[in-house]
Amino acid sequence: MAPETGSVPANSERAGYAYAVGAYGLWGLLPLYFLALAPTGPFEIVAARILFSLVFCVILLSVTRTWRRMGRLLRDRRTVLTMGLAGVLIFVNWQTYVFAALSGHVLEAALGYFINPVVTVFLGVIVLRERLNKVQWTAVGVSILAIVVLTVAYGQLPWIALVLAFSFGFYGLIKKRVGPKVDAVSGLTLETAWLVPVAIAELIAVGVTVGLTTGTVSPVHTALMAGTGVITAVPLLLFAAGSRRLPLTAMGFVQFFAPVLQFLVGVLVLGEPMPPERWVGFGLIWVALVILTTDMVLRARRSGRVADSLHAEPA
């Protein structure tokens, strides 16, 4: 990994780690934020998250004077439609995650993000026709065994974890295909703009059934609801800043901050049960992640040695 990090100034790399840890740390603590929004339900929270995120992004675009870049993206019909699909996937992810946080399933949400790297590898095979080596296939096999164990432990398929893992996996795949053409703020602006009709429909449905809570509980509650836009956009901006300064392998390590924090919140703060069979299932997932991570580091080092030898050759 030396060549990767060596090409990045030390100060920039340290800043990259700070940005990345900040992003994944905030994502890991999100369950506590959503619980603080009680008595608001998951549908109203997600609707508020969509609308206030859009407002926050519009403010950012105005402050940073990047509307011209946004205008170029809007003229690209394919990109706009692609971001619409990304919006659908992130809506499914948000709605499932908030439901999990408010219904006592934070541990299953954490499991989803532990599974996500394995799902990403799996999608690479199915969608991108990539080939896995034996070590990667072993990790996939161990993760499937973990899901079987957890299905027995839960008495049902851990659907929350799987929906989170696959929705975010496909979301990441779409963002990868869009590439650097769409920055974090512009991307979130397009995604949330597509979801505005969904948010309005959710608010109407909540309003005519159980009633809306925004603006009726307390000033602090209203401020926290408005803050859903900030807590959605800020980690994305930190993530974008970190990913520009760090090699992919380093970002791969830091991404485990979020599910680890979610796991600790579920066990230590919320007291969700962890019977032995769940420990076995989570343990198998962690084994799969160790296998994947070790393989990733070894391949990065090998490619680094090749790069060193190429640079050492005379011109």
- Confirm if 237 and 185 have CB atoms less than 8 A apart: yes
What b/e string do you get for 158-182 counting C-beta neighbours within 10 Å, with b at 16 or more? bebbbbbbbbbbbbbbbbeebeeeb
Q: Given this model, what pLDDT does residue 40 score?
A: 95
Q: How far, in Å, CA of 93 to CA of 166, rounded?
A: 9
Going by C-beta distance under 8 Å and a sequence separation of 6 or more, which residues neighbour residue 16? 8, 241, 242, 243, 244, 245, 246, 250
Tens of each residue's pLDDT in the chain, 315 residues: 344 444 556 677 788 888 888 988 999 999 999 999 999 999 999 999 999 999 999 999 999 888 988 998 899 999 999 999 999 999 999 999 999 999 999 999 998 888 888 787 778 777 777 777 888 788 888 888 888 888 887 778 889 999 999 998 888 888 777 777 888 888 889 999 999 999 999 999 999 999 999 988 999 999 999 999 999 889 888 887 887 777 755 676 677 888 889 999 999 999 998 888 889 888 988 898 888 788 877 776 776 554 433 334 333
Longest dimension (CA), the chain: 75
- Confirm if 246 and 20 have CB atoms less than 8 A apart: yes
CA atoms within 13 A on the CB side of 301: 6
Q: Given this model, what pLDDT does residue 8 score?
A: 53
Q: Given this model, what pLDDT does residue 100 score?
A: 95
Q: Given this model, what pLDDT does residue 308 score?
A: 39
Residue where the block lists tokens 């069979």: 277
Q: How far, in Å, CA of 131 to CA of 136, rounded?
A: 9
Q: Given this model, what pLDDT does residue 312 score?
A: 40
Q: Given this model, what pLDDT does residue 105 score?
A: 93
80 token code pair: 């706009």
Model-level pTM?
A: 0.83
Q: Given this model, what pLDDT does residue 18 score?
A: 87
Angle at which helices 228-245 and 10-35 pack, to 10 degrees?
160
- Confirm if 113 and 258 have CB atoms less than 8 A apart: yes
Helical spans, DSSP H, in the chain: 2-6, 10-35, 42-63, 67-74, 77-102, 106-126, 134-154, 159-178, 184-209, 219-226, 228-245, 248-254, 257-264, 276-312
